[in-house]
Structure 1
Amino acid sequence: MPRNVEVLQLMRVPNMNDATAKMITKHMPDIRLLNIECLSYRESDSLDNFRNLECLISDSFCPVRIPKTLKLFAFTRHFSLFRQRNLSSIDNLIKSHCEKFTKHITDGKIDTYYLMIFITGINTYVPFGSIFAENTNI
Protein backbone atom coordinates (compact mmCIF):
# COMPACT_ATOMS: atom_id res chain seq x y z
CA MET A 1 0.00 0.00 0.00
CA PRO A 2 1.23 3.50 -0.71
CA ARG A 3 2.26 5.24 2.51
CA ASN A 4 1.57 8.74 1.17
CA VAL A 5 -2.24 8.39 1.04
CA GLU A 6 -3.87 11.54 2.44
CA VAL A 7 -7.52 10.95 1.49
CA LEU A 8 -9.30 7.71 2.36
CA GLN A 9 -12.91 6.68 1.81
CA LEU A 10 -14.26 3.64 3.64
CA MET A 11 -17.72 2.36 2.77
CA ARG A 12 -19.99 -0.06 4.64
CA VAL A 13 -17.71 -0.51 7.64
CA PRO A 14 -19.70 -2.61 10.14
CA ASN A 15 -17.65 -1.60 13.20
CA MET A 16 -14.67 0.72 13.41
CA ASN A 17 -12.50 -0.45 16.25
CA ASP A 18 -9.04 0.27 17.60
CA ALA A 19 -7.40 -2.70 15.84
CA THR A 20 -8.78 -1.69 12.43
CA ALA A 21 -7.75 1.95 12.88
CA LYS A 22 -4.23 0.93 13.97
CA MET A 23 -3.86 -1.36 10.95
CA ILE A 24 -4.94 1.42 8.58
CA THR A 25 -2.63 4.03 10.12
CA LYS A 26 0.28 1.59 10.21
CA HIS A 27 0.16 1.29 6.42
CA MET A 28 -1.18 4.79 5.64
CA PRO A 29 0.05 7.15 8.39
CA ASP A 30 -0.54 10.42 6.49
CA ILE A 31 -4.35 10.33 6.19
CA ARG A 32 -5.66 13.89 6.51
CA LEU A 33 -9.21 13.38 5.22
CA LEU A 34 -11.33 10.36 6.15
CA ASN A 35 -14.76 9.81 4.63
CA ILE A 36 -16.34 6.86 6.41
CA GLU A 37 -19.72 5.18 6.26
CA CYS A 38 -19.73 3.31 9.53
CA LEU A 39 -22.50 1.50 11.38
CA SER A 40 -20.79 1.87 14.76
CA TYR A 41 -17.58 2.88 16.45
CA ARG A 42 -16.85 -0.02 18.75
CA GLU A 43 -14.29 1.88 20.86
CA SER A 44 -14.95 5.56 21.41
CA ASP A 45 -11.31 6.53 20.84
CA SER A 46 -10.58 4.44 17.73
CA LEU A 47 -10.31 7.54 15.51
CA ASP A 48 -7.54 8.94 17.73
CA ASN A 49 -5.20 6.55 15.90
CA PHE A 50 -5.40 8.86 12.86
CA ARG A 51 -2.76 11.29 14.14
CA ASN A 52 -2.77 13.57 11.06
CA LEU A 53 -6.54 13.62 10.56
CA GLU A 54 -7.82 17.13 9.84
CA CYS A 55 -11.15 16.39 8.16
CA LEU A 56 -13.68 13.70 9.07
CA ILE A 57 -16.86 12.98 7.16
CA SER A 58 -18.91 10.42 9.06
CA ASP A 59 -22.00 9.03 7.37
CA SER A 60 -24.66 7.00 9.16
CA PHE A 61 -23.21 7.11 12.67
CA CYS A 62 -21.73 9.85 14.81
CA PRO A 63 -18.50 8.97 16.61
CA VAL A 64 -18.64 9.41 20.37
CA ARG A 65 -15.20 10.96 20.48
CA ILE A 66 -13.51 12.89 17.71
CA PRO A 67 -9.76 13.50 17.33
CA LYS A 68 -8.41 16.80 18.64
CA THR A 69 -6.57 17.36 15.35
CA LEU A 70 -9.82 17.90 13.41
CA LYS A 71 -10.40 21.21 11.67
CA LEU A 72 -13.53 20.09 9.87
CA PHE A 73 -16.13 17.51 10.89
CA ALA A 74 -19.21 16.62 8.85
CA PHE A 75 -21.86 14.20 10.02
CA THR A 76 -24.99 12.96 8.29
CA ARG A 77 -27.65 11.40 10.46
CA HIS A 78 -30.14 9.07 8.81
CA PHE A 79 -33.25 8.86 10.97
CA SER A 80 -34.15 5.43 9.61
CA LEU A 81 -31.02 3.98 11.25
CA PHE A 82 -31.86 5.17 14.74
CA ARG A 83 -34.62 4.16 17.06
CA GLN A 84 -36.74 7.04 18.26
CA ARG A 85 -35.58 6.58 21.88
CA ASN A 86 -31.92 7.05 20.88
CA LEU A 87 -32.47 10.35 19.06
CA SER A 88 -32.11 12.50 22.18
CA SER A 89 -28.76 10.93 23.10
CA ILE A 90 -27.55 11.43 19.51
CA ASP A 91 -28.72 15.06 19.60
CA ASN A 92 -26.79 15.59 22.85
CA LEU A 93 -23.69 14.04 21.30
CA ILE A 94 -23.95 16.33 18.27
CA LYS A 95 -24.41 19.37 20.53
CA SER A 96 -21.28 18.44 22.49
CA HIS A 97 -19.32 18.23 19.22
CA CYS A 98 -20.74 21.62 18.13
CA GLU A 99 -19.32 23.20 21.29
CA LYS A 100 -15.78 22.16 20.29
CA PHE A 101 -15.89 24.04 16.99
CA THR A 102 -16.10 27.76 16.32
CA LYS A 103 -18.57 27.47 13.44
CA HIS A 104 -21.28 25.02 12.51
CA ILE A 105 -23.77 24.80 9.67
CA THR A 106 -26.78 22.52 9.27
CA ASP A 107 -28.69 21.78 6.10
CA GLY A 108 -31.95 23.09 7.59
CA LYS A 109 -33.39 19.61 7.93
CA ILE A 110 -31.17 18.82 10.92
CA ASP A 111 -29.81 15.80 9.08
CA THR A 112 -26.36 17.08 8.16
CA TYR A 113 -23.91 19.00 10.31
CA TYR A 114 -20.75 20.75 9.12
CA LEU A 115 -18.49 21.74 12.00
CA MET A 116 -15.32 23.71 11.46
CA ILE A 117 -12.70 25.45 13.52
CA PHE A 118 -11.26 27.79 10.90
CA ILE A 119 -10.49 27.10 7.30
CA THR A 120 -8.12 29.54 5.66
CA GLY A 121 -9.66 31.29 2.69
CA ILE A 122 -13.28 30.39 3.40
CA ASN A 123 -15.10 33.39 4.82
CA THR A 124 -18.59 32.57 3.58
CA TYR A 125 -20.65 29.43 3.24
CA VAL A 126 -19.83 27.33 0.20
CA PRO A 127 -21.34 23.96 -0.71
CA PHE A 128 -19.55 21.25 1.26
CA GLY A 129 -18.13 19.50 -1.80
CA SER A 130 -16.57 22.77 -2.91
CA ILE A 131 -14.55 23.13 0.28
CA PHE A 132 -12.19 20.40 -0.82
CA ALA A 133 -12.02 21.54 -4.42
CA GLU A 134 -11.30 25.18 -3.59
CA ASN A 135 -9.15 24.89 -0.50
CA THR A 136 -6.45 22.25 -0.58
CA ASN A 137 -4.76 23.66 2.52
CA ILE A 138 -7.13 21.84 4.88
Structure 2
Amino acid sequence: MNLEDHAGDIISKARLHAGIDAGEVAKAAGLSVGELEQFEESGRTAKPADLPGVARLLGLNPGKLQAVASGWQPATVDLESWRELRAILSQGPGFSVNAYLVWDEVTREAALFDTGFDATPMLQMIA
Protein backbone atom coordinates (compact mmCIF):
# COMPACT_ATOMS: atom_id res chain seq x y z
CA MET A 1 0.00 0.00 0.00
CA ASN A 2 1.45 3.37 -0.98
CA LEU A 3 1.46 6.17 1.55
CA GLU A 4 -0.16 9.42 0.47
CA ASP A 5 2.39 11.50 2.37
CA HIS A 6 6.14 11.45 1.88
CA ALA A 7 8.50 12.58 4.64
CA GLY A 8 8.39 16.17 3.38
CA ASP A 9 4.58 16.23 3.63
CA ILE A 10 4.76 14.88 7.17
CA ILE A 11 7.28 17.54 8.19
CA SER A 12 5.30 20.32 6.52
CA LYS A 13 2.04 19.33 8.22
CA ALA A 14 3.70 18.87 11.62
CA ARG A 15 5.52 22.21 11.29
CA LEU A 16 2.35 24.08 10.38
CA HIS A 17 0.35 22.36 13.14
CA ALA A 18 3.02 23.20 15.72
CA GLY A 19 3.33 26.79 14.48
CA ILE A 20 7.10 26.45 14.07
CA ASP A 21 8.84 28.74 11.60
CA ALA A 22 10.40 27.19 8.49
CA GLY A 23 13.74 28.76 9.41
CA GLU A 24 13.84 26.93 12.74
CA VAL A 25 13.01 23.60 11.10
CA ALA A 26 15.56 24.22 8.33
CA LYS A 27 18.23 24.88 10.96
CA ALA A 28 17.37 21.64 12.79
CA ALA A 29 17.55 19.79 9.46
CA GLY A 30 20.87 21.35 8.47
CA LEU A 31 19.24 22.80 5.35
CA SER A 32 18.57 26.26 3.98
CA VAL A 33 14.95 27.42 4.03
CA GLY A 34 14.84 26.90 0.25
CA GLU A 35 16.14 23.35 0.60
CA LEU A 36 13.55 22.66 3.32
CA GLU A 37 10.78 24.02 1.08
CA GLN A 38 11.97 21.73 -1.73
CA PHE A 39 11.98 18.77 0.67
CA GLU A 40 8.50 19.58 1.95
CA GLU A 41 7.23 19.74 -1.64
CA SER A 42 8.97 16.71 -3.16
CA GLY A 43 10.22 14.56 -0.29
CA ARG A 44 13.71 14.80 -1.77
CA THR A 45 16.70 17.01 -1.09
CA ALA A 46 20.11 17.33 -2.72
CA LYS A 47 21.93 16.77 0.57
CA PRO A 48 21.06 14.64 3.59
CA ALA A 49 18.80 16.26 6.17
CA ASP A 50 19.03 15.70 9.92
CA LEU A 51 15.63 14.02 10.13
CA PRO A 52 16.02 12.86 13.75
CA GLY A 53 16.71 16.48 14.75
CA VAL A 54 13.64 17.67 12.85
CA ALA A 55 11.52 14.91 14.35
CA ARG A 56 12.53 15.86 17.89
CA LEU A 57 11.78 19.54 17.22
CA LEU A 58 8.33 18.71 15.82
CA GLY A 59 7.40 16.00 18.32
CA LEU A 60 7.56 13.21 15.73
CA ASN A 61 9.01 9.72 16.13
CA PRO A 62 12.56 9.97 14.69
CA GLY A 63 12.78 6.31 13.67
CA LYS A 64 9.44 6.32 11.90
CA LEU A 65 10.17 9.58 10.05
CA GLN A 66 13.53 8.19 8.91
CA ALA A 67 11.85 4.95 7.81
CA VAL A 68 9.28 6.83 5.69
CA ALA A 69 12.07 8.95 4.18
CA SER A 70 13.97 5.74 3.36
CA GLY A 71 11.02 4.29 1.45
CA TRP A 72 9.16 2.28 4.09
CA GLN A 73 5.67 1.25 2.97
CA PRO A 74 2.99 -0.46 5.04
CA ALA A 75 2.13 -4.04 4.17
CA THR A 76 -0.56 -4.47 1.57
CA VAL A 77 -3.92 -5.47 3.02
CA ASP A 78 -6.30 -7.57 0.95
CA LEU A 79 -9.54 -5.60 1.20
CA GLU A 80 -11.39 -8.24 -0.81
CA SER A 81 -11.95 -10.25 2.37
CA TRP A 82 -14.53 -7.58 3.28
CA ARG A 83 -17.16 -7.64 0.57
CA GLU A 84 -18.19 -4.00 0.86
CA LEU A 85 -14.94 -2.18 1.58
CA ARG A 86 -12.88 -0.62 -1.17
CA ALA A 87 -9.87 1.67 -1.47
CA ILE A 88 -10.09 4.07 -4.39
CA LEU A 89 -7.11 6.08 -5.65
CA SER A 90 -8.11 9.61 -6.67
CA GLN A 91 -5.78 11.90 -8.63
CA GLY A 92 -5.46 15.58 -7.72
CA PRO A 93 -3.27 18.45 -8.85
CA GLY A 94 0.18 16.89 -8.52
CA PHE A 95 -0.68 14.19 -6.00
CA SER A 96 -3.06 11.34 -5.30
CA VAL A 97 -5.40 10.63 -2.40
CA ASN A 98 -6.61 7.29 -1.10
CA ALA A 99 -10.35 7.25 -0.41
CA TYR A 100 -12.06 4.38 1.43
CA LEU A 101 -15.67 3.37 0.87
CA VAL A 102 -17.63 0.98 3.07
CA TRP A 103 -21.31 0.20 2.52
CA ASP A 104 -24.17 -2.08 3.47
CA GLU A 105 -25.02 -4.35 0.57
CA VAL A 106 -28.73 -4.50 1.48
CA THR A 107 -29.59 -0.92 2.48
CA ARG A 108 -26.90 0.73 0.30
CA GLU A 109 -26.05 3.03 3.20
CA ALA A 110 -22.42 4.02 2.85
CA ALA A 111 -19.59 5.85 4.57
CA LEU A 112 -16.68 7.46 2.79
CA PHE A 113 -13.32 8.27 4.41
CA ASP A 114 -10.85 10.69 2.81
CA THR A 115 -13.24 11.65 0.05
CA GLY A 116 -10.68 12.15 -2.71
CA PHE A 117 -11.21 14.42 -5.69
CA ASP A 118 -13.89 12.68 -7.74
CA ALA A 119 -16.96 10.96 -6.29
CA THR A 120 -17.90 9.22 -9.57
CA PRO A 121 -16.13 5.88 -8.88
CA MET A 122 -17.61 5.70 -5.39
CA LEU A 123 -21.13 6.48 -6.54
CA GLN A 124 -20.84 3.81 -9.24
CA MET A 125 -19.82 1.20 -6.64
CA ILE A 126 -22.90 1.72 -4.49
CA ALA A 127 -25.41 2.34 -7.30
The TM-score bracket by the shorter chain reads: under 0.3
**TM-score (norm: length of structure 2):** 0.24
> Structure with the greater relative contact order (CA < 8 A, sep ≥ 6): 1 or 2?
2
Higher relative helix content:
2
Higher relative strand content:
1
